[in-house]
């Protein structure tokens, strides 16, 4: 499969998914509903967490512009909010794919990042990590392909650095990594363009600044009850079938390739990836085949985000090694750089991206049913409705239920002010949510779901 064809096909697929997920308001999943309700209530940015403020500003700006223009349809606002949340990282990944499409190995790695890091964690699209990981990928794509270290490339790097300055805690390790890569690229290019170098140094400083901001946030919230629970769940990424299946498959293939590089010249690797793809595509039926608990679980996208960051760092390092190696090539790199092997790699990773959409769309279908059910309860009741009276712990509601955000989601999907608000019978004192506004009932005066 030619790199250009793979690039076009994957980009088209990603944007088709963005359109579908925006239309069904998937950005309202979990904290998304709470964040949108707060933005609608306050009519300003919801940047309660300064260490992630830059991503919040970018993703909330379109909704705020519509509010200022007088839009009060919460369904339209939910669609636009979802579209922005999905479109920002997807656009960045598209730029990365475009940058590396001339190098089959780099293209294969970026496709692997989309298949293993992005799609298996993007049900929790409200998470700032989605954009941070995309920005890190694009930064490396620019650094490894812009051999002249042009002003345009350096300017984009500076923009990414500014975005990542207040983005996500993963910048603790991604920041120094990107700063070093930026300085290495600038020195390697031997460019005489002083402005390009200045922009590059500023970008490196911004990446380091992102690491400092992230480290400060980690230190500040280290003993917070919620943050403690998050740390304890760092290695629970195995709960995410969409993440663990391709990760184990690619990990096994990588180990074999390192030990026996020559096997990459045969047909075994594509066949092995095909097996992984079949298993991944069948995950929506694991619940019926194996065990009721062996199911796709959207909250696991949130749990797997930390593990995904580690995988991203490994893959970005692999890209760097491939591009930077000079002199006598190791056998593995020598074989990978062969055109036939490179095209097979691109084909295999494109297949993995394609099959990753199967469980994603399966969950999207269930999400549509959940949102319809939730709206049905809200529109048929009045006053406060206790979630204990509803089957929120049963299949499939349990896949999407989060008690903190019941009131916010209820207020958003109401088509009349006298309709019900679902609340959880909790005081949130023993296990308080990270965001203090979670669990409270928004006003949303003048807004309606139409």
String of DSSP letters for 105-150? HHHHHHHHHIIIIITTTGGGTTSTHHHHHHHHHHHHHHHHH-TT--
Question: Average pLDDT of the chain?
Answer: 91
Average pLDDT over residues 334-340: 92
pLDDT at 227: 76
Question: pLDDT category, 46, cuts 50, 70, 90?
Answer: confident
Instruction: Assign 4 a pLDDT band (cuts: 50, 70, 90).
Output: very high
Better-predicted residue by pLDDT, 292 or 369: 369
- Residue 86: pLDDT over 60: yes
As given in the structure block, the two tokens for residue 386 are 């206790």
pLDDT > 90? residue 54? yes
In the predicted structure, residue 171 carries a pLDDT above the cut 80? yes
174 closest CA partner among 138, 200, 224: 138
Determine the pLDDT at residue 437.
58
Q: Are 46 and 56 in contact (CB under 8 A)?
A: yes
Strands 384-386, 421-423: pairing kind: parallel
Task: At 107, list the tokens.
Answer: 């293209």
| Residue 434 confidence (pLDDT) above 70 | no
Specify the pLDDT at position 293: 67
Between 228 and 63, name the one with better pLDDT. Answer: 63
pLDDT score recorded for residue 188: 85
pLDDT at 119 over 80: yes
- Residue 294: per-residue pLDDT: 66
Closest by CA position to 418, among listed 369, 385, 440: 385
- 372 has a pLDDT exceeding 60: yes
Q: Once rounded to an integer, what is the mean pLDDT over residues 394-410?
A: 91
235-275 per-position pLDDT tens digit? 888 889 999 999 999 999 999 999 999 999 988 898 999 99
Instruction: Report whether 93 contacts 121 (CB < 8 A).
Output: no
Tell me the three state secondary structure of residue 73. strand
Q: What length does the chain have?
A: 450
Residue spans of alpha helices (H) in 304-415:
305-324, 331-336, 339-380, 406-413
| pLDDT above 70 as % of the chain | 96
User: What's phi and psi for 73, nearest 5 deg?
Assistant: -80, 110
Q: Which has the higher per-residue pLDDT, 2 or 60?
A: 60
pLDDT tens-digit series, residues 278-308: 999 999 998 888 877 667 899 999 999 999 9
Residue 235 is predicted with a pLDDT of 82
Tell me, what's the pLDDT at 433?
54
How high is the pLDDT of residue 110? 98
* Cα→Cα distances 346→6, 102, 113, 265, 318, Å: 7, 11, 12, 14, 15
Confidence (pLDDT) at 413: 96
pTM for the structure as a whole: 0.95
């Amino acid at each position: 499969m030619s790199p250009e064809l793979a690039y076009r096909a994957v980009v088209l697929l990603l944007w088709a998914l963005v359109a579908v997920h925006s239309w069904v308001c998937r950005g309202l999943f979990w904290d998304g509903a709470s964040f949108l309700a707060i933005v609608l209530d306050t009519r300003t940015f919801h940047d309660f967490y300064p260490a992630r403020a830059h991503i919040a500003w970018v993703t909330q700006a379109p909704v705020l512009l519509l509010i200022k223009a007088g839009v009060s349809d919460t369904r339209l606002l939910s669609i636009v909010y979802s579209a922005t949340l999905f479109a920002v990282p997807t656009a960045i990944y598209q730029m990365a794919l475009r940058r590396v499409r001339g190098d089959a190995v780099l293209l294969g790695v970026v496709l692997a990042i989309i298949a293993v890091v992005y799609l298996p964690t993007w049900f929790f699209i409200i998470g700032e990590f989605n954009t941070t990981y995309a920005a890190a990928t694009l930064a490396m794509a620019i650094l490894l392909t812009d051999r002249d270290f042009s002003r345009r490339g350096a300017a984009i790097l500076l923009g990414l650095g500014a975005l990542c300055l207040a983005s996500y805690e993963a910048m603790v390790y991604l920041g120094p990594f990107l700063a070093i890569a930026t300085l290495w690229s600038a020195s390697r290019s031997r460019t005489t363009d002083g402005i390009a170098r200045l922009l590059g140094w500023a970008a490196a400083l911004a990446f380091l600044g992102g690491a400092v901001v992230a480290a400060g946030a980690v230190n500040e919230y280290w003993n917070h009850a919620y943050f403690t629970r998050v740390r304890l769940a760092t290695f629970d990424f195995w709960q995410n079938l969409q993440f663990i299946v391709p990760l184990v498959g690619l990990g096994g293939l990588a180990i074999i390739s390192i030990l026996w590089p020559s096997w990459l010249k045969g047909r075994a690797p594509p066949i092995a990836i095909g097996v992984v793809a079949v298993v991944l595509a069948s995950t929506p039926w694991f619940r019926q085949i194996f065990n009721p608990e062996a199911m796709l679980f959207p909250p696991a996208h949130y749990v797997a985000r930390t593990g995904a960051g580690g995988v991203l760092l490994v893959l970005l390092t692999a890209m760097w090694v491939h591009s930077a190696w000079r002199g006598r090539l190791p056998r593995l790199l020598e074989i990978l750089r062969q055109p036939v092997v490179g095209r097979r790699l691109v084909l295999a990773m494109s297949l993995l991206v394609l099959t990753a959409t199967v469980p994603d769309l399966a969950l999207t279908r269930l999400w549509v049913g959940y949102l319809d059910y939730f709206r049905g309860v809200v529109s048929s009741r009045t006053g406060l409705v206790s979630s204990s009276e509803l089957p929120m712990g049963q299949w499939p509601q349990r896949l999407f239920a989060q008690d903190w955000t019941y009131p916010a989601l209820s207020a958003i999907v109401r088509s009349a002010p006298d309709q019900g608000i679902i609340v959880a019978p909790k005081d949130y004192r023993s296990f308080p949510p990270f965001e203090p506004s979670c669990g409270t009932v928004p006003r949303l005066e003048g807004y309606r779901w139409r």
